[in-house]
Amino acid sequence: VDKDALDTQIKEKKIQEATEKAQNEKLASEMKQNDKIMCMLEERQKNDIRNMNKAISEFRKNFQKPETRREFDLSDPLALKKDTPARLSDSDPRCTVSGLQKFMGEDLNYAQRMKFQKEQLREWSLQQQRDWKNVLADKKFSDDLYDKNRIELDQKAMELQRAEEETRRAVCAATKDFNRTQADELAERKKLEKYKTMKDDMAEISSLLQGDLLSENPEQASSSFGRHRVITDRWKGMNRDQLMAIRYTQQQQILEKMRLKEEERQRNAEWDRQRIQAARAQLLLERHQQRQNQECRRALDSVNAVLSQEQKSKNMYLKEEAYSNFPTAQYYAQFNTTSR
């Protein structure tokens, strides 16, 4: 080992540390001086702002009084005393249309105008009363004339009504005679029709008693379209052979229906058996799937337990061995010690 070289390096290291320490102390003193200067400048700026605001307030108080402002007339306490009346006469040039200072009926001669209007209304009322009296007199004369004419018309109407009643009485007598004649003719006609109807009924009864309908001749129901067809209004029913054939056919149909029901029952039973087998197979498949899911869950739980144990071991290693050496204040003091 070269001890001289090591000593030289140690001395250079100490000299370098001393130089850096001197530079750091110099920078610290300069920073303190700058901070002090900044505080003094801020205090001076605050004083300047305070003096400027004070000067502005004094200027406004001395040279910008409220009465010298353009909008002072809006807040002048003596505005009502200084203000002029809205108008001096009806022909005041200030009372323009757009000013809305003069409306109809608000002129200065209102009292005289109202007096004149009342006199005029009284004259109109008197004139209307005179006109109304004349109208009532005319109406009374016309009513009297109307009543007179109405009485004359009522007398003429009564005479016409008496003549009409005499005419109606004569017409009613003639109508009564005509109706009596018509009733006698109608009774004679009904008597003849009744006799004719009775004669026709006797002939029909005799024809039915001698015909094939009441004698129950089976040949009368035969249709001209074939032997298997009958005339319904003449048919008296089936014979014994036909009834036996129908009963035999019905029994055959009953047996056929029972056979079809048995086949349907067997088909339904087969379908039920197949459905039960399918449901049983589905149940077995679901149970097998559940067992597989449980096995997968247990395998996953075992893997998660292993990973959890490994994570705990790793955290314990990092906590007890890797991160056991915490940095001291001297470690942090070596930063920000140069101008860089």
Residue (of 139, 143, 119, 141) closest to 131 by Cα position: 139
pTM (predicted TM-score): 0.26
pLDDT category, 228, cuts 50, 70, 90?
Answer: low
Residue span of the structural domain in which 207 resides? 127-237
**230 within domain boundaries:** yes
pLDDT category, 2, cuts 50, 70, 90?
Answer: confident
Tokens standing for residue 64: 């910008």
Q: How far is 191 from 197, CA to CA, in rounded Å?
A: 10
Q: Are residues 195 and 171 in the same domain?
A: yes
**320 within domain boundaries:** no
pLDDT the model gives residue 8: 86
Q: Are residues 197 and 267 in the same domain?
A: no
Q: Are residues 229 and 244 in the same domain?
A: no
**334 within domain boundaries:** no
Q: How far is 246 from 237, CA to CA, in rounded Å?
A: 13
Residue (of 112, 71, 106) closest to 90 by Cα position: 106
Q: Are residues 225 and 250 in the same domain?
A: no
Q: How far is 115 from 122, CA to CA, in rounded Å?
A: 11
Q: Are residues 178 and 214 in the same domain?
A: yes
What ranges in the chain are assigned the alpha helix state H? Answer: 3-63, 79-82, 110-210, 212-215, 240-317, 329-333
Q: Are residues 172 and 232 in the same domain?
A: yes
pLDDT, tens digit, 9 for 90 and up, residues 287-321: 999 999 999 999 999 999 999 999 999 888 887 77
**71 within domain boundaries:** no
Q: If you ran DSSP here, which 8-state letter would residue 221 be given?
A: G
pLDDT the model gives residue 321: 77
Total structural domains within the chain: 3
